[in-house]
Chain A
Amino acid sequence: MNWLRDERVRRALLEAVTIGIVAALTIYIAARAQAAGGLDLAFMQDRAGFGVGDQVLTDVSGRDSRWMAYLAGLMNTLRITVFGIALSMVVGFGVGIARLSSNWLAAKLAFGYVEFVRNMPLPVFVVFCYTAVVLRLPRIQESADILGLAYFSNRSVALPWLSFSDGAMAWGALVLAGILGAWAAHRVLAAREEDTGRPSYPTRAALGILVVAVVGGYVVTGMPATWNLPEVGRFQYTGGLQMSPEFFGLLLALSLFNAAFVAEIVRGAIASVPRGEREAAAALGLSPWQQLRLVVLPQALRVMLPPLATQAQNLAKMSSIAIVVAFPDLMNVGGTIINNSGEAIPVFILMTVTYFVLNLAIAVIFVGPQWRFSWSRGRRA
């Protein structure tokens, strides 16, 4: 039994037992699900028989298959997640920095906001944002408007939008080229300015290239975009870019809710940068904004990325509350499919896998920049 004293063997045995338990559990669950008909998804090809109300990029009707309805729900979950994460990060950074501000009012306001939101259950907050804020917008017949260009009502928020015709792709390519060109020019000129010490106006040059590419490209490609203005109809607006009140209310609630947590993460990360760093930066004569941007934030960012990724994943998972404000997300549509087909287990497995993949993707996107940090730190070391 001497080999049992070998640390390598013991460790290998432990790992083998762990893998064995996990594998056995997985196979057992899969077998149970299989026995319950949980892995047979043939019913998803049947006619859905119900419509999905709020769709962007998809156009699924009750005549399509359940898969298509599921896809429409998934697109809605993606939409609320992407915009929710973006908005909560912007608001959260602002509030988090404001909490550390030397301005008394800004700091107290930020503190009050964070505490108010953090101590409220999410469903209450979502229903509040929907019924007390969004539904209080005027009715469609009495729409509020801005110069007749944009309309606000509790039926929808309608904004002017571009409608594209032939040549829009070419224009898009020119704009993209302009952005790349402007970026390259800025880089080259900024490097020259740094090397030679002579002003080379990198920002002005980049802006000039961008304007020429956008405006010039628009004319050259034959003006492929025109404004599409919304008009008030009987039940709905026609034309323009429309955002449903459910999406608006849920976006408001999810992003404001998560922004409070983001603000705390940002505050904590900034506070974790040693005080001496900032004092040293001040001693070098950097302005408060430069201290924050050049010295504090780069170090704080490294600390805050993992919790920020968790928070973004939280938002994606929290979006499954959408049904309380009738937003047809994945969970809402999945629930309807369960009700109509009676196939609860397969649909729940499907939803679990979908949310799992979505959250993995968010983790990869957020942890991605970390590689850069660890690399640059390694290089500096």
Chain B
Amino acid sequence: MVRTLDIRLVAGTRNLGIAARRSRRTRAFALLLGALALAVAAACSDAEPAAVGTSTPTPPPAAAEGGNTLREVRDRGYVLVGVNDALPGFGFIRPDGTFAGFDVEFGHALAAAIFGDRERVQFVGVSAASRFEALRVHEIDVLIRNTTWTVSRDMQDMTFAVPNFYDGQGVMVRAEDGIDSLEDLDGAVVCALSGTTTQLNQEDTFAGTGVTYQPLVFDRTETLQEAFVAGRCDAWTADRSQLAARRAAYPKEAGGPEALVILSETLSKEPLAPATRSDDARWSDLVNWVVLGMIAAEELGVTSENVAAMAEDPPNQEVARLLGSTQEGTAFQAHPGLSPDFMRNVIAQVGNYGEVYDRFITPLGIERAGSLNALWTEGGLMYAPPFR
């Protein structure tokens, strides 16, 4: 009460008071007009949600052609493969600017199968966010970028080939801390990167075992590694392949790779598989069977060294069919668009599954024996249906 009075006193002269009163009347009029405008606007915008509602559910028209990716590729003269450009071991750029890595080798294998020349391929570095769109708009023919095969992705406009790597979320700890299992982590600080399903898997697993933990979520790997080196975190959780890559590159002054241990427990399934558009089943089959052929080659003992000899003088019919060797005048034709000996080119120029694994994954320190990535004959999941 007193305050308003004083303010009026400050405002001072009689003239000012009148001006204030007049402007108040003007404002009332303006409010009335405003309310009218509002009603009009509301009437106009009533139609708006309906219009938006009908336009959003219809998906943008997919690329019209029923898909003859193989012919597209042949006409172009090379195959376009979307890969990772920053994951050591899987897909990365060498100092000379060429792509290299485990996933990249499968791109080379495709080129060898189609053209008989592993170099007739162009790699496109795609980000985690843009990879599916790149595939959908025909920017790439196939996506081989440590992509997890999930039901929601498969049911949309994509088809997955057989996984070329079975990954899973793991936990990395310092060797000196004497942590052997998840139970030992009760009360520990667990670091992770934001923006992935890592946190959900972690919570699910830990809640199941009754282990309490303190999450620490970073947005950049560098800061996370800095905190881990400084001893701020007891554990680091991510996909095992990424943990292995990080472990291999762990700074020397912090003890190098030997200072770290990746626990044997797995918190989630992450089967990484090549993906193609689902409108071209023949192309999807081709990609699938190049991967399967490499697995079969390993199982049958065909390597890049002995493939020439094996093709000339196949030890059994399975090998003969795999390599497309001519026997009694005919060769086994697996795919109508490819030459019968397409797998011979793949094995000669790229190698079988085990050779590719040894070239890029073994240096990361990811043990193959006893893991899901071992051949089925050795207790793993790498299993190719018969070539016949």
Contacts and interface: CB of A to CB of B under 8 A. Distances in A.
Interface of A: 8, 11-13, 15-17, 19-20, 23-24, 27-28, 31-32, 34-36, 49-54, 62-63, 127, 130-131, 135-136, 139-140, 154-155, 233-236, 245-246, 323-326, 328, 332, 335-336, 339-340, 371, 374-375, 377-379, 381
A236 B187 contact: yes
A32 to B, nearest CB: 6
B49 interface: yes
Given A16-B34, A234-B187, A335-B194, A27 B42 contact: yes
A16 to B, nearest CB: 3
B230 A136 contact: yes
A378 B7 contact: yes
A24 B223 contact: no
B217 A32 contact: no
B112 interface: no
A325 B234 CA distance: 16
Contacts of B218: 323-326
Contacts of B224: 326
A285 B259 CA distance: 70
Interface of B: 3, 6-7, 9-10, 22-23, 25-27, 29-34, 36-38, 40-42, 44-45, 48-49, 52-53, 56, 187-189, 191, 194-197, 199-200, 202-204, 207, 213-220, 223-224, 226-227, 230-232, 234
A130 B223 contact: yes
Given A15-B34, A16-B33, A24-B41, A339 B48 contact: no
Nearest to A141: B231
B7 to A, nearest CB: 6
Most B C-beta atoms less than 10 A away, residue of A127, A235, A323, A325:
A235
Given A15-B30, A236-B189, A236-B214, 5 more contacts: A20-B41, A49-B203, A131-B226, A131-B230, A339-B195
Given A32-B52, A326-B217, A19 B7 contact: no
Contacts of A335: 194-195
- The SS class assigned to the A binding surface is helix
6 contacts: A8-B26, A13-B30, A19-B37, A23-B41, A51-B199, A154-B231
Contacts of B214: 51, 53-54, 236
Contacts of A130: 223
A230 to B, nearest CB: 15
Given A13-B33, A23-B37, A24-B45, A381 B207 contact: no
Contact of A323 (B207, B217, B227): B217
Given A31-B45, A323-B219, A140 B231 contact: yes
A235 B41 contact: no
Contacts of A379: 6
A140 B124 CA distance: 46
Given A53-B216, A326-B217, A11 B34 contact: no
